[in-house]
């Protein structure tokens, strides 16, 4: 009998446990990301529903106070709003607790304002720190920690622009005029200066979330829109035919303010270079024209998660932590990985060390 020594596995081969782990993670990923997108859509839909409900309930309450039953019959579907509120005074009180829009929202005694509303108001009033500033504390804190989270999750105009983006994709339109991202910071600065000089609120007229809210209010209350509807139509048409997500990337003063405030955000994207095959699916998925796999997202990312979902290999993930010293954690991770890979003559095991798969 000849004693045969068992064949040794090459050191670089991933263990069976690791293979199972990564396979399981890859199988889980689409469902998990779909769930996150579903949550995002639900949040966006809730904001839109609130923006519609507020003027509807307000109008209903006014007509009730005027005892205008004919007006109520004419304006409301009795099975829905009237049927919901007529015989229930408690519900009616509750329904009128929410007032305003995404520009300034009043929920009971709590007032929450968009930071851009504070800038706009302060510039027009030519005042410095104002008590109004306190109403923007919650959005300010959220932006400092999460970056442009308002854009990706709450802005009603973003929903509209995403519809435009989908139309553009369906129509196969390739034309994409690009501008400098600095343009929106110029819009922010010039708008504030103009407001200060003219003594009027400039952003309130051109800021899409505010315009969407205002137009919904006009349509519901008076049955007709204003100039804002034309502005929105113009922006969406330009985005569909000429420039993908033009407004949010290059022109929105709110987006500019959120980008500035979110410079030191703690919620960040991270690339796992050992999994990234440089397929660029995440780049194509990003409506903001960012390059997640290269780490060049800066403070523009709106946390929409399209790129994370597009990557079927789980190479992109979210992390919470401070900004790395070089400012480009994703690039640094990729470079570190590449360097280790080279020094280990392509040994995959070394690359795996570079990432935190075991801990997740
Ligand atoms: S950039 Fe402006 S319009 Fe676009 S999502 Fe952000 S706030 Fe809304
Ligand atoms: S980098 Fe990803 S999460 Fe950020 S805006 Fe682009 S697709 Fe959305």
Euclidean distance between CA atoms 360 and 348, whole angstroms: 19
Q: For ligand 1, what atom is nearest to the CA of residue 245?
A: 4
Arithmetic mean of pLDDT, 94-118: 86
Residue of 293, 301, 318 to test ligand 2 pocket, by largest number of atoms within 8 Å of CB: 301
Q: Please determine, for residue 328, whether its predicted confidence score (pLDDT) is greater than 60.
A: no
Q: Whose CA is nearest to atom 8 of ligand 2?
A: 304
Q: Would you kindly state where each structural domain of the chain is located, as residue ranges?
A: 27-96, 102-260, 266-353
For residue 41, what are the CA distances in angstroms to 3, 78, 239, 250? 64, 29, 21, 24
Q: Whose CA is nearest to atom 2 of ligand 2?
A: 307
266-353 placed in CATH 3.30.70? yes
Which three-class secondary structure state does DSSP give residue 353? Answer: helix
Q: How confident is the model at residue 318 (pLDDT cuts 50, 70, 90)?
A: confident
Q: Please determine, for residue 355, whether its predicted confidence score (pLDDT) is greater than 50.
A: no
Query: For the purposes of burial, counting CB atoms within 10 Å of the CB of 308, is it exposed (0-12), middle (13-18) or buried (19 or more)?
Result: buried
Q: Please determine, for residue 225, whether its predicted confidence score (pLDDT) is greater than 60.
A: yes
At how many degrees (to 10) do helices 115-125 and 183-198 cross?
40
Residues paired with 188 in a beta bridge:
none
Q: How confident is the model at residue 42 (pLDDT cuts 50, 70, 90)?
A: very high
Euclidean distance between CA atoms 174 and 69, whole angstroms: 53
Pair of tokens at residue 103 = 């520009």
Q: How confident is the model at residue 85 (pLDDT cuts 50, 70, 90)?
A: confident
Q: What percent of the chain has pLDDT over 90?
A: 41
> By mean pLDDT, which of 105-114, 197-206, 242-251 is the weakest?
105-114
Task: Tell me which residue of 162, 137, 155 sits closest to 46, measured CA to CA.
Answer: 155
Q: Which residue has the higher pLDDT, 5 or 81?
A: 81
Q: What per-residue string of b and e applies to 47-65 under the rule 16 or more CB within 10 Å gives b? A: bbebbbebbbbbbbeebbe
Say which residues have a Cβ less than 8 Å from residue 37's Cβ, sequence separation at least 6: 305, 309
Euclidean distance between CA atoms 7 and 1, whole angstroms: 17
Euclidean distance between CA atoms 11 and 115, whole angstroms: 55
Q: What is the mean pLDDT of the chain?
A: 80
DSSP state of 294: G
Q: For ligand 1, what atom is nearest to the CA of residue 249?
A: 1
For residue 223, what are the CA distances in angstroms to 44, 64, 84, 220, 233? 24, 19, 22, 6, 18
Residue 274's CB: how many other CB atoms inside 10 A? 20
Pocket flag, ligand 2, residue 195 (CB < 6 Å): no
Q: Please determine, for residue 13, whether its predicted confidence score (pLDDT) is greater than 70.
A: no
What is the predicted pLDDT for the residue at 354?
34
Say which residues have a Cβ less than 8 Å from residue 309's Cβ, sequence separation at least 6: 30, 33, 34, 36, 37, 285
Q: For ligand 2, what atom is nearest to the CA of residue 310?
A: 7
Closest-approaching ligand to the CA atom of 259:
1
Q: How confident is the model at residue 360 (pLDDT cuts 50, 70, 90)?
A: very low
Euclidean distance between CA atoms 159 and 327, whole angstroms: 30
Give the distance between the most distant pair of CA atoms in the chain.
105
Q: Please determine, for residue 296, whether its predicted confidence score (pLDDT) is greater than 50.
A: yes
Q: Please determine, for residue 92, whether its predicted confidence score (pLDDT) is greater than 90.
A: no
Task: Assess contact for 316 and 292: CB atoms under 8 A.
Answer: yes
């Amino acid at each position: 009998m000849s004693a045969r020594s068992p064949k040794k596995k090459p050191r670089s081969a991933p263990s069976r446990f690791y293979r199972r782990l990564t396979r399981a993670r890859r199988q889980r990923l689409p469902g998990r990301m779909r769930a996150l997108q579903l949550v995002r859509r639900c949040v966006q839909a809730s904001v839109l529903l609130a923006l519609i409900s507020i003027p509807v309930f307000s109008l209903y309450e006014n007509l009730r106070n005027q005892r205008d039953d004919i007006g109520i019959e004419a304006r409301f579907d009795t099975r829905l709003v009237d049927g919901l509120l007529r015989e229930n005074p408690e519900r009616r009180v509750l329904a009128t607790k929410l007032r305003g829009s995404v520009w300034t929202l009043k929920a009971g005694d709590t007032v929450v304002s968009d930071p851009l509303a504070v800038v706009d108001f302060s510039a027009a009033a030519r005042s410095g720190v104002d008590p109004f500033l306190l109403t923007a504390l919650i959005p300010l804190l959220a932006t400092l920690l999460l970056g442009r989270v308002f854009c990706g999750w709450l802005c009603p105009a973003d929903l509209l622009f995403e519809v435009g983006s989908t139309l553009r994709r369906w129509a196969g339109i390739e034309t994409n005029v690009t501008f400098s991202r600095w343009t929106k910071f110029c819009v922010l600065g010039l708008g504030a200066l103009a407001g200060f000089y003219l003594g009027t609120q400039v952003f309130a007229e051109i800021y899409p979330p505010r315009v969407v809210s205002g137009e919904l209010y006009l349509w519901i209350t008076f049955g007709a829109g204003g100039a804002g509807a034309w502005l929105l139509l113009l922006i969406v048409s330009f985005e569909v035919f000429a420039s993908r997500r033009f407004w949010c990337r290059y022109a929105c003063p709110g987006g500019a303010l959120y980008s500035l405030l979110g410079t030191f955000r703690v919620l960040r994207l991270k690339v796992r270079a050992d999994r990234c095959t440089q397929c660029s699916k995440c780049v194509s998925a990003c409506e903001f024209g960012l390059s997640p796999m290269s780490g060049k997202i800066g403070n523009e990312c709106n946390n929409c998660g399209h790129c994370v979902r597009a990557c079927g290999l789980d190479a992109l993930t979210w992390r919470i932590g401070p900004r790395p010293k070089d400012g480009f954690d994703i690039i640094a991770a990729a470079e570190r990985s590449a360097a280790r890979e080279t020094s280990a003559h392509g040994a995959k095991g070394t690359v795996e060390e570079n990432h935190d798969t075991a801990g997740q």
